[in-house]
Amino acid sequence: MTQNLEGRATEEQNLLLLLNKENMGKRIAYLFLTFLILDLKAIFSIEQANANIYSSIVDKMIIESQNDTLPYHRLSYMCDVFGPRLSGSENLEKTLIWMLDEMKKDGFANVRADSVKVPHWVRKYEKCELVYPRNADIPVFALGGTISTPKGGIEAEVITVKSFDELESRKGEVKGKIVVYNFPYEGYGKGVQYRFHGAHRAAKYGAVATLIRSISPNVSRNVHTGMMTYADSVIKIPHAAISPEDAMLLERLISYGITPKLRLNIDAETLPDATSFNLIGEITGEEYPDEIIAVGGHTDSWDAGTGAHDNAGGCIVTWEAVRLIKKIGLKPKRTIRIVQWTNEENGVRGGNTYRDMHKDENHVLMFEHDSGIFPPKSVRFTGPEKILEFIKTFDPLFKKFGNVDVTNGGGGVDIGPMMKLGIPGMNIGTDDAGKYFYYHHNHSDTVDKVKKEDLNSCIAIIAAAIYLYSELPSEMLSK
């Protein structure tokens, strides 16, 4: 009793204190706390309501996608019948014609193709041989954009370095040599700098060619290709990838006091730009048809394997997610637009052309899938904090797909040009168990590496994410 009375007295005193004009700071703090509590209650009730309204829709998406055999058929057909889809290739153009036709069959609105000029680099021949201290073939994969060696190839001694720092410290030893970057795999981001910049960094000091250790945690004498660049002011030299085993072999030979010699022969050519296409198809929004959610993947791939994970899978899961929304009879409030971008791998001309042609239309979200087909583990979003907080209220719905979190940091290469203009971006993070870079830009990236259940899970969660986004209250999207 005493405690209660004392408690009430203290409460009244505190209130008086807060009402006192001299305690304005505390008063504001009190009001802020009150609003915070009200706000949290509001978010909680939104969460409850969302869970109730949308739970059965998401369940339906999951069941329908798991029972649908068309997506996996389309993925395997695209990979097996048309093959790898390097920009400028006939394979890519045949794929796009087939996709456009299939999208029309699906009954999407406004199915069309935007013309895009793309780079046209072609690989013709490549061979690498160890010629000293013994003769052996070294598997090699020229990097996208490289020049050829002179006719008959280049024969030169090898110097191995582990990093650009080591290259700089030994720059006096580089002239006339083939520089081999033998950096250990510590994630894609760290390795990719040697693929992009390895040639011009060594050419500056007189190297005659450069080889990188393939960027992959998989050590099974695999070679992985990808994009490289030259610097305008530096002489161009051939640049290619060898397997981790062979990069290590060359370094070990040097440790024995032997200077190995390689013969490298590459024939590659950059032809005039070719014509390609971004593909578009839509479900027109019921309430806000002018507000666009663009969702897609990139149709091109390296000329390695059949580009199943990278990125036929990304095309199929985004396209099929929109078909799933349509198939179960949902009428999204906003327009959901499939965009299949061309030329992500060696130019981003598809993403840039899309921005140039469509930036004046009212995009409310850009979504891309380009992270392999594995179980979903996150819904990633870049955009206003208030939208991110709202998407987080759908967390119980995303948990239907497993331990999926809503996190900050969505994006993608093709949607980058639009995101730079301030349009929010989203993607689905996947749990690849460390395997994506086993297949990435490698001949093993074939459809047998993609599991049907993972493909269908990605389709259903993308359908859920973009459909729920299309349901956002209009005040959320007001600028």
| Set 126, 251, 291, 344: catalytic member | 344
Nearer to Zn ion by Cβ, of 27 and 443: the residue is 443
Residues 267-306: x where in contact with Zn ion by CB under 5 A, - otherwise, as a string: ----------------------------------------
Which stretch, 91-99, 160-168, 309-317, 403-411, contacts Zn ion (CB under 5 A)? 309-317
Nearest approach, Cβ of 386 to Zn ion (angstroms)? 31
Q: What gap in Å lies between CA 333 and CA 310, rounded to an integer? A: 31
Which amino acid makes up residue 322?
V
Nearer to Zn ion by Cβ, of 298 and 334: the residue is 298
Nearest approach, Cβ of 165 to Zn ion (angstroms)? 29
Nearer to Zn ion by Cβ, of 263 and 369: the residue is 369
Q: How far apart are the first and last CA of the chain?
A: 54
Exposure on the CB side of residue 47, measured as CA atoms within 13 A: 12
Query: How many CB atoms are closer than 10 A to CB 327?
Result: 18
At 96, list the tokens: 């796009």
Identify residues 351-370 at the interface with Zn ion (CB under 5 A): 370
Question: Is residue 102 involved in binding Zn ion (CB under 5 A)?
Answer: no
Question: Is residue 310 involved in binding Zn ion (CB under 5 A)?
Answer: yes
Q: What gap in Å lies between CA 342 and CA 351, rounded to an integer? A: 8
Nearest approach, Cβ of 370 to Zn ion (angstroms)? 4
Long-range interactions of 355-361: CB distance < 8 A, separation 24+: 355/417, 355/418, 355/421, 357/114, 358/294, 359/418, 359/421, 361/290, 361/292
171 within 8 A of 205, measured Cβ to Cβ: yes
Nearest approach, Cβ of 343 to Zn ion (angstroms)? 11
Torsion angles phi and psi, residue 26, rounded to 5: -65, -35
Question: Is residue 76 involved in binding Zn ion (CB under 5 A)?
Answer: no
Nearest approach, Cβ of 414 to Zn ion (angstroms)? 9
Nearer to Zn ion by Cβ, of 95 and 311: the residue is 311
Nearest approach, Cβ of 141 to Zn ion (angstroms)? 17
Nearest approach, Cβ of 177 to Zn ion (angstroms)? 33
Nearer to Zn ion by Cβ, of 311 and 446: the residue is 311
Residues 366-395: x where in contact with Zn ion by CB under 5 A, - otherwise, as a string: ----x-------------------------
Which stretch, 23-31, 110-118, 311-319, 401-409, contacts Zn ion (CB under 5 A)? 311-319
Chain-centroid distance of CA 206 in Å reads 35
Nearer to Zn ion by Cβ, of 251 and 370: the residue is 370
Nearest approach, Cβ of 348 to Zn ion (angstroms)? 11
Which stretch, 158-166, 231-239, 308-316, 375-383, contacts Zn ion (CB under 5 A)? 308-316
- Which 8-state DSSP code applies to residue 149? P
Q: 287 catalytic, yes or no?
A: no
Long-range interactions of 73-81: CB distance < 8 A, separation 24+: 74/102, 74/316, 74/319, 74/320, 75/308, 75/312, 75/313, 75/316, 75/447, 75/450, 75/455, 76/447, 78/312, 78/315, 78/316, 79/306, 79/307, 79/308, 79/312, 79/446, 79/447, 80/306, 80/447
Q: Kindly state the number of chain residues that form the binding site for Zn ion, as judged by CB under 5 A.
A: 3
Nearer to Zn ion by Cβ, of 373 and 423: the residue is 373
What DSSP string describes 262-288?
A: EEEEEEEEEEEEEEEEEEEEEE--SSE
Sequence-ordered list of residues with C-beta below 8 angstroms from that of 288, at least 6 positions apart, any chain: 333, 334, 335, 474
Nearer to Zn ion by Cβ, of 54 and 341: the residue is 341
Strand partners for 280: 112, 339
Exposure on the CB side of residue 249, measured as CA atoms within 13 A: 19
Strand partners for 281: 338
**Binding Zn ion by CB under 5 A: which of 91, 214, 311, 456?**
311
- Which 8-state DSSP code applies to residue 400? G
Nearer to Zn ion by Cβ, of 198 and 412: the residue is 412
Nearest approach, Cβ of 419 to Zn ion (angstroms)? 16
SS3 456: helix
Q: What gap in Å lies between CA 13 and CA 248, rounded to an integer? A: 76
Active site residues: 344
| Residues at the interface with Zn ion (CB under 5 A) | 310-311, 370
